[in-house]
Structures are given as C-alpha cells and as structure tokens.
Chains A and B, each alone.
Chain A
Amino acid sequence: MVSLKFQIPTTVVLSLIYVVYVLAGGAIFWYLEGNQLEENSRIFDRKKVELLEQFSCIEQHALENFAQEIIWAYKSGVVFRGNRTLHGFWQFSTSAVFSATVVTTIGYGDISPTTTSGQLFCVLFALFGIPLNVVVLNRFGKFMLSIEQRTSAYIGQKINRRKTARVAIAGISFLIGMTMFIFIPTYAFHTFENWNYHEAFYFTFITLATIGFGDYVAGNNPDIIYPFWYSQVVAVWIFFGLAWLSLVINLCIEMLEKLSTYLKQRQLDSLENKTIEETVEEPDPAEPREETSASKEDPTAPTCS
C-alpha cells in the first residue's frame, strides 16, 4: 500500500522560492548600493556649496529653482550646452527608435511623451504594437531555427552521423549568435560610445533582456558625433538579437522538457518495478496501476481545434 503524503502544490513551492529570491536580491542591492549613494550625495553637496561660495550674488533658493527647471527640461529632452542648437529628441529618426523601444517593451525612458495626446497615442500604439512585435519576433526566430535545422540535417546526412552533427551545429550556431549579438555589440559600444567594456556589456544585456533602464542608451550622447548609419544598425541589432534570444530560450525550454520526460520515464519504470514486486509479495487485486499516458476525459472542457 503506497502511502499518500501531503501534497504541496508545486506552484506554491515555486512562488515561495520566488519570493525568497526577490527578497534576497533586494537585500543584496541594498547592501551594494546604499553606500555609493551616500558618497555621491556628499560629493554633490560639496560642489553646490563651492559654487554658492564662489559667486556670492546667487541666492540658494533661486539657484535651486533654476536647477529644478533644468532637470525637468533635461527629462523632456532639452539639453543645454553653450550656444549649440541641439536637435532634440523628437526628430523622425529618434521617434522611430522610441516607437521601437515601446513595441519591444524595452522602454528606456530617456525620452517619453510629455503631452497628453502623446501619452494616449503611446498607449494605443503599444496595445497593438506589442502583440505584433511578439508575433514577428516569433516568426523570425522560427525562421532562424529552420535554417539551423536544415543545415544540421544536410551535414548530418553528408557525414552520416546525425546526432553529432545536430549537437555540433547547435553549439556552433549558439556561439555565432553570442558573437554577433553580444560580443561584437559590446565591442562596438565600447568604441563608439566611449564606455568601458563592462558598461557596454551591461547595456547590451539590459537591452536584450528588454529591461531597458535607460541609464545607458546608445546614440544619446550629445558630445559624440555618430555615423549616419548608427541608429539604424542599433535598431537592427536589437530586433535580431531579441529574435535570437527568444529562439535560445525556447530551445532551453525544449531541452528542459526532454529532460523532464526522460526523468519521468525513469520514475515510471522504477515505479512499475516496485508495483510488480509488491503484487508478487501481496496479491491485492484492488490496487490500480496508474498509467500516466491516459488523458483525463473531460467532455465539458473545450478542445483546441
């Protein structure tokens, strides 16, 4: 007689582990960043005091108001640097990049619509754009996958070793993907944006994960003159990088599923062996033999057509 232990639903366990994970992350960030903030505050306060002392005619209150205005303008995309007339954020090319970041849900936030109609339009735009984006990325990922599969099938036939060919091609295409979408962009951003390597890598990761903080944004530095093809190439990279990433994730899920099926099969086999032993010891015809392949008959649940 197999004892029935108390069943904790897997979802609850998963959710608990998740909560712990987020809490742990919060604690670690608290530790890592808390000190840095204090230091920055002190440095800034010192500079402010220096300026006020240097120019005695400025009143602190007026300076603070002025600075607030500047901050607000900066957030709206207007930057002051001498007498240079700057193009601002809402030209066509930068607006195209903005709509791309909305639709891919990256959402840097370095520019965002400030007018009410702009915000309303943003909501509508995203409502249709995000599903469209998901579908297109999906299809592109599938397309890239089919190329890889056809190549591995072709090579597998040629050298007559299907499995090794598949594994080898999978490994190679993964490496090619990593190089094209992570390593080369890191180097490119390091070169064009004058970021360190780890800053460039951080930006690449945050963008491709669609987190998009906006603390680093490619093409945003008003001091750098970018080549004319720069923002288009960055947009292309984001698109194909996202498609590639979705492909990788789905392959990982597939591998996990295969592993799960394999483990389940082993468990099933061992359970069958155990039940056989038990029926030999204790003949009990009332003991049902479960078959996991039997599907539940549920006439009320709709089926997928």
Chain B
Amino acid sequence: MSSNCRSGIMVSIFFVFYLTYLFLGALIFSSIERPEEIRLKDELRVLKTNFLNRSCVNSSSLETFLEHVLTANKYGVSILKNASVNTNWDFASSLFFASTLITTVGYGHTTPLSDGGKAFSIVFALLGVPFTMLVLTASVQRLMHLFTYWPMGVCQMKAGWSSRTASKVQFVLLLGVVVVCFFVVPAAIFSAIEQTWTFLDSFYFCFISLCTIGLGDYVPGEQSGQTLRPLYKITVMVYLFVGLMAMLLVLRSFHKAADLHGLTSLFHLPKCEEEEEDQEPIIDSLESSELDREALPHKQLTAEPQTSYNSINR
C-alpha cells in the first residue's frame, strides 16, 4: 500500500516539475524572441508604408493580394516568377513527405491540400506510425547486441570492470560516437550544401528533426535551383531513419546504465527488459524457428522508454 502511496507522490512531484519546466521555458522563450519580433514589426510597417506611398495601389487590394501570397506560400507556391519550379509533389518529395509523416517528424513545409490527400494521410499514418515504431524497436534490439551488450561483455572480461562501470563507459562512448556521426558531421554537410544555413542552424535542424519535433523552419532541399534535389531528399530521408535508430539506441543504453545503477527503481521508472529471455518474434518467419535460436532476433515487446510516446511497462 505504501508503495502505491509513494508512487502516487512521485507522479505528483513529476507533474509539478513538468509544469514548472514548461512555464520557465515559456518565460525564457518569450524574453528572447519578443524584442526581435517587435523590431521586425516596425521594420515591416516602414516597408509597407514606403511601398504604398510610391505606388498607386490602394491598401485593400494590396492586402487581398498579400493574403493570396501567404496562402500560396503555405502550399509551397513561390511568388518569384523565374524561380525554377520546385514542385513539392514529385516522387522524391512525396516520398520524403511520407517518411516525415510516419516518423511523426511532420515538418509541415508541404502538407496535403486535397481532401483525398488528407484522408489518405490519416490512414497511412494510422498504420505507418506503429509500423515505424515496430521496425525501429526490432532493429534497435538487434543493434543493442552489437553496440551495447557485446562491448560491455568485452570490457567486463578484458578489463575486469563491474557491469556498472562497463555500462557507464559504453554509454558515454556511444553517446560521443552518435553525436559526432549524426549531429556534428551532418550539420557540417548541411551548412555546406544549404547556402543560407550556418553550422548552428544545421545543428539545430539535425536536433529538431531527430527528436521528431520537426518544426519545419529549416527544411533541406527547399531553396531554388537545388542540384540533384531528388537524390538529396532521399538521402535526408535515409539520414532521418538511421538517425532515429541511433537516438533510440542511445536512449536504451542510457536506460540500461540507469537500471544497473538502480535509478529506475528509485524514480519508479520502468525497468529494462531481460535480454536473455528467449521469446519468439511476433512474426515467425519460418517453421523450424525453434531449433535455431541463434539466427532469430529476440523481439521483445515489453515497452521501454523511447523518444515516442509509448512507454508503459507492464
């Protein structure tokens, strides 16, 4: 009974902390961005008055036109007449869109305009989002053996470390490798390809994409005259998928390390699953699977914390 009470208290503490965190964040965002916004408003007011003064357009028809400009822009139609037509719906871009949809990144730089497109998005995502989670989980489980359990085992045998130390070292190393390979290097590449992006902008983009937040303020391949645009989009798509796997891997290594240090039971968080238990994969590939366990991936379905929203342990 007391464990229930404690668990209930933990929930409340977490919730209060969460609200405080949100409010503090709001305050800080507001104080950083508001002055910039005010400055921009003034600038724009001046620009508009100048334009109206010089030309014969009356205010209302200009505003109607501008509304159309903004609506068109939302749908990806550019105002510039001579801009090379960057259609948002050629095959590579549609593929890119489909991948941002089911990974829940959802940039929003292009969105389905037609009713059929919207309805199909819902259906596609309804199946696709769980499917993505399944694929990611299954892949990460196999990768864990290669990147987490095997190095930890090696460390323990060769250096004679305890499992706790091994897990800490392994996690830090993995984190370093992932940050370099999936954040620093891609950020450098993006800042070289995209002319208007600085290194920090690209890093920000990588982070926002791989966390599946996907604000959409930076989207690669959207500038006019982009060479090899289809190939570029598809490469970014692959980067997204592999990056998500890497993030999940890091998260699970962290969970493993935290578990070994007893942090999960301290905060009443879900424990990591027993990786030695043999469980048949949910989709049995062939009949004689029981006899050859080595070839089978151990597909565990107990939920672990992921960057997505399902993580209730049984």
List chain B residues, Cβ under 8 A from A304.
256, 259-260, 271-274
What are 26 contact pairs spanning A and B, CB under 8 A?
A: A13-B283, A21-B128, A27-B94, A34-B90, A37-B89, A40-B72, A55-B61, A69-B47, A74-B73, A80-B66, A82-B63, A90-B34, A98-B29, A99-B25, A113-B32, A121-B29, A126-B213, A134-B311, A137-B309, A138-B270, A139-B11, A139-B14, A210-B104, A250-B311, A302-B166, A305-B259
Are the CB atoms of A29 and B213 closer together than 8 Å?
no
List chain A residues, Cβ under 8 A from B278.
292-296
**3 A-B pairs closest in CB distance:** A26-B95, A211-B106, A107-B213
Q: Give bound CA distance, A151 to B77, whole Å.
A: 54
Are the CB atoms of B94 and A29 closer together than 8 Å?
yes
Min CB gap B267→A, angstroms: 8
Q: Give bound CA distance, A249 to B63, whole Å.
A: 47
A273 at the interface (CB under 8 A from B): no
Q: Give bound CA distance, A22 to B98, whole Å.
A: 6
Are the CB atoms of A71 and B98 closer together than 8 Å?
no
Are the CB atoms of B310 and A302 closer together than 8 Å?
no
User: If A30-B89, A301-B275 touch, does A135 touch B269 (CB 8 Å cutoff)?
Assistant: yes
Min CB gap B117→A, angstroms: 4
Are the CB atoms of A64 and B216 closer together than 8 Å?
no
Convert A18-58 into 0s and 1s, putting 1 for each residue whose CB lies closer than 8 angstroms to a CB of B.
10011101111110111011001100100110010011111
Convert B1-32 into 0s and 1s, putting 1 for each residue whose CB lies closer than 8 angstroms to a CB of A.
00000001011001101100111011111101
Are the CB atoms of B283 and A90 closer together than 8 Å?
no
User: If A4-B288, A25-B101, A27-B91 touch, does A14 touch B63 (CB 8 Å cutoff)?
Assistant: no
A242 at the interface (CB under 8 A from B): yes
Min CB gap A36→B, angstroms: 5
Are the CB atoms of B101 and A211 closer together than 8 Å?
yes
Of the four ranges (under 10, 10 to 19, 20 to 34, 35 or more), the interface on chain B belongs to: 35 or more
A214 at the interface (CB under 8 A from B): yes
Convert B123-141 into 0s and 1s, putting 1 for each residue whose CB lies closer than 8 angstroms to a CB of A.
0111111111011001100
Cβ 8 A contact of A115, one of B32, B153, B299: B32
User: If A8-B286, A115-B36 touch, does A71 touch B114 (CB 8 Å cutoff)?
Assistant: no
List chain A residues, Cβ under 8 A from B114.
32-33, 36
Are the CB atoms of B22 and A107 closer together than 8 Å?
no
Are the CB atoms of B61 and A54 closer together than 8 Å?
yes
List chain A residues, Cβ under 8 A from B122.
201-202, 205
Min CB gap B37→A, angstroms: 5
A140 at the interface (CB under 8 A from B): yes
Q: Give bound CA distance, A298 to B40, whole Å.
A: 63
Instruction: Tell me the count of chain A residues lying within 8 A, CB to CB, of chain B.
Output: 148
Are the CB atoms of A134 and B305 closer together than 8 Å?
yes
Are the CB atoms of B98 and A29 closer together than 8 Å?
yes
Q: Give bound CA distance, A95 to B129, whole Å.
A: 28
List chain A residues, Cβ under 8 A from B41.
73, 78, 88
Q: Give bound CA distance, A268 to B284, whole Å.
A: 13
List chain A residues, Cβ under 8 A from B217.
75, 109, 112, 114
B232 at the interface (CB under 8 A from A): no
List residues 113-142 of chain A with CB under 8 A from any CB of chain B: 113-123, 125-126, 128-142
Cβ 8 A contact of A29, one of B80, B87, B112: B112
Cβ 8 A contact of B311, one of A76, A199, A246: A246
List chain B residues, Cβ under 8 A from A104.
309
Convert A194-214 into 0s and 1s, putting 1 for each residue whose CB lies closer than 8 angstroms to a CB of B.
000011011001100111111
Min CB gap B173→A, angstroms: 16
User: If A123-B207, A296-B293, A302-B167 touch, does A33 touch B112 (CB 8 Å cutoff)?
Assistant: yes
